[in-house]
Amino acid sequence: MDRYQKVEKPKAETPINENELRITAQGRMRNYISYAMSLLQDKGANEIVLKATGRAINKTVMIAELIKATVSAKMPKSKRNKIEHEDLKFKEFREQLKSSSRFFLGSNKVMQVALGRSASDEIRPASAWDAGLFLTNMPREEIESLFNNFEENDFARTGSIATEKVELPEGPLDQFTHEMEPFLRKQGMPVRLNKGVVELVSDFVVCEEGKPLSPESARILRLLGIKMATFRLNLICRWSPEDFELYMEGLDESDVECA
Task: Measure the CA–CA gap between 239 and 160, rounded to whole angstroms.
Answer: 32
The candidate with the shortest Cα–Cα distance to 156, out of 198, 249, 218, 217, is: 218
The candidate with the shortest Cα–Cα distance to 222, out of 62, 6, 59, is: 62
Q: Which residues of 36-54 are buried (b: 16+ CB within 10 A; e: fewer)?
A: bbebbeeeeeeebebebee
Question: Which option is the CATH number for 87-155+230-258: 3.30.70.1060, 3.30.70.1730, 3.30.420.40, 3.50.50.60?
Answer: 3.30.70.1730
Domain extents in the chain: 20-84, 87-155+230-258, 166-226
Q: Is 176 exposed, middle or buried (0-12, 13-18, 19+ CB in 10 A)?
A: buried
Distance of CA 194 to the CA centre of its chain: 33
Q: What is the pLDDT along the chain (259 residues), one digit of tens a residue?
A: 567 777 776 666 677 778 888 888 888 888 888 888 888 877 777 788 888 888 788 788 888 877 877 776 655 544 444 444 446 677 778 888 888 888 876 555 655 665 666 656 555 544 444 457 788 888 888 888 888 888 888 888 888 899 999 999 999 998 888 888 888 888 899 999 998 899 999 999 999 999 999 989 988 998 888 999 888 888 888 877 787 888 876 544 433 333 3
Check if the beta carbon of residue 238 is closer than 8 Å to that of residue 247: yes
CATH architecture of 166-226: Alpha-Beta Complex (3.90)
Q: Do you know the residue count of the chain?
A: 259
